[in-house]
Chain A
Amino acid sequence: MAQRTVTVGSASGLHARPARLFVRAAAALPVPVTATVDGKKPARADSMLAVLALGAVQGTAVTLTASDDAQGVAAVDELAELLAADLDAAPEPDPSDA
């Protein structure tokens, strides 16, 4: 399995805008990715409800898992980078791109 653990970088945590950017990015990936937080039900990264239910705030460690192939590794890397960034400061992508 391709797997990486990163801490949430956005000041507002993984809800509101950062959650939307994260879920939208996950939905655009060619492979499924799972996000897990200790003590919480694993979340499909492309599910807004599941991602919100992780309740991840700034500094929470989130583990991303995908298939152990090139696409899976790339997917985990892309989402890990997003999670670690301060998405409150990032520009909003055009939703029609997703």
Chain B
Amino acid sequence: MPDVYRGIGIGVGIVVGPLVRMGRPPELPPASPVDDPAAEVERARQALAAVSADLTSRSAAATDPTATDILDALGMIAADPTLGDDVEQLVDVRTDAVHALHLLFARHRDTLAAAGGYLAERAQDLDDLRDRAVAVALGLPMPGIPDPGHPFVLAAHDLGPADTVGIDPSRVLALVTAQGGPTSHTAILARSLGLPCVVACTGVMDVVDGTTVAVDAEAGVVEAGVDGARRDELAEQARRLAAELAGQGDAESAAVVDAPSVALLLNIGAVADLDDVVDDRFEGVGLFRTEFLFLDRVDPPSFDEQRAAYRSVLSAAAGRKVVVRTLDAGADKPLPFMPVAPGPNPALGVRGLRIARQVPEVLVTQLEALAAAVADVDGAEAWVMAPMVATAEEASWFARRARRAGLDTVGVMVEVPAAALRAREILAEVDFVSIGSNDLAQYTFAADRMEGALWNLLDPWQPALLQLIAGCAAAGAELGKPVGLCGEAAADPALSPVFAGLGVTSLSMSARAVPLVRRALGARSLADCRRLAAQVVAAPSAEQARACAVAAVQAGSDVSPTRSQ
């Protein structure tokens, strides 16, 4: 009998393959007395050399240029000559190689963390290197993404940002984690790679390496120990579903006649994100983040530089709508040309439009450069919106400046609960709003987005979050103004019918997520979506809200033309 493990499914897709577990960071054993310090120093040095050699060879083997660069940089840090020198100082009668390595990385980690900004983000890399070096010194396998030499289902307790560069989507068939939630790093990664995924799958790390498992992302189920006939049956289901997903070109013919009309837009950070995605199904850009122009520089980008950057995006979008978000800098990412003191709590500090109100020149140049770029490109359709708006007065302030610069379609992001509660008053000042669901969840639940332990509060199925979104959509419908949604939740095919039913007019996501969301929306009528949305918002908990949607999928699967069983 196969063992069945249940969790929260991310995405759609069934895969059958051998499961391989990712090693846990090693536990630090008690220190052993040191008789021969020179030998301990040598043991620590050899561990560092082995880690460096492993990362450098993985860098050479990686096909993705970003992964190559990151692995190479990590390998160079492990080979840093100052680490070897420090080890000599740290080893003494009571500090063996393992503890010397541990102390060494802790010291450098603290230095980087204290430096703030970009360097603080690298602090986690040092934890990763420490775990690798300590494991080698203990004679254990190095933690990190395993490489069994064949395609496999990756099982882990949870995945962090440092793990993800080692994931080769041509080798990894699916992601399964015992911890994490629908907004965890694992889930975000799975959506961006288009991999089937099950998170919060308790007990799955007990499955022995090499066991054949079936992962059904839509159902949120991992079946371990599938054999002969069952294996063939699941493989056949997987093949059929894959063929169905690949046949997205025929989605219209399969879609129900009165499917909801929701624009599916893309989130981009630079013009390169539009390479290979602008075809006749491309509907536009729902979130163009402009931060890349501003980061890592001493002076703000000039009018001409910005104008050229916006022009290239508007040209690439070929007449489709592009929603441009003005600079979303924060106290956590200080920019030298925006003198804002880092407050005690950056997420609640002077960020987004709040900085623009203190230093308006940077915003005015950005708006004027965008307006000039619109004039440069025939048929360009640019919408502009401000981040981190809390009140109708702020929306009005921004709208006046944007219109003065010559921009016609002006909106704001809804990320703060105050803005969602006053969506009607805000929409009276602007032409549209776009809901940033990640920040809106964070601020509604007073739960840090990066705090993995709070994933259940950050679950986009939380009725309180959906109620705020419903209020925005209702205000938009009343005033006849568009209400879009960008953020992780927009890419979730299970949630998209709910948003459609609430009256959200566009969903913005990564290009890879579009086919699954399109399929989900094409399978239901608008009336069904509205019924589902009403049930979900009325549900007493996130779990029960999700259960409503699963029940609706199962009820609909008998009649839906896109399902074969």
Contacts and interface: CB of A to CB of B under 8 A. Distances in A.
Given A11-B296, A58-B298, A95-B60, A53 B115 contact: yes
B397 interface: no
Contacts of B73: 16, 19-20, 48
Main SS of the interface on chain B? helix
A44 B82 contact: yes
A72 interface: no
Contact of A12 (B59, B117, B296, B298): B296
Contacts of B320: none
Given A23-B76, A52-B112, A52-B119, A47 B298 contact: no
A27 B82 CA distance: 12
Question: How many interface residues does chain B have, given as a range?
Answer: 20 to 34
Contacts of B117: 55
A55 B119 contact: yes
B212 interface: no
A60 B76 CA distance: 23
Interface string A1-33: 000000000011101110110011001000000
A33 to B, nearest CB: 13
A95 B297 CA distance: 28
B122 interface: yes
Contacts of B122: 52
B298 A57 contact: yes
Contact of B296 (A27, A47, A50, A57): A57
B32 interface: no
B77 interface: yes
Interface residues of A, number: 25
B111 A53 contact: yes
B83 interface: yes
B423 to A, nearest CB: 39
B297 A57 contact: yes
A3 to B, nearest CB: 22
A58 B115 contact: no
B69 A16 contact: yes
A49 interface: yes
Contacts of B79: 48
Given A47-B82, A58-B296, 19 more contacts: A11-B296, A11-B297, A20-B69, A20-B73, A24-B76, A46-B81, A47-B81, A48-B76, A49-B80, A49-B83, A49-B108, A50-B80, A52-B119, A53-B112, A53-B119, A57-B336, A58-B297, A58-B298, A95-B59
30 contacts: A13-B296, A15-B118, A16-B69, A17-B69, A19-B73, A20-B69, A24-B76, A27-B81, A47-B81, A47-B82, A48-B73, A48-B79, A48-B80, A49-B80, A49-B82, A49-B83, A49-B112, A50-B80, A50-B82, A52-B112, A52-B122, A53-B112, A53-B115, A55-B117, A55-B118, A55-B119, A57-B336, A58-B297, A58-B298, A59-B299
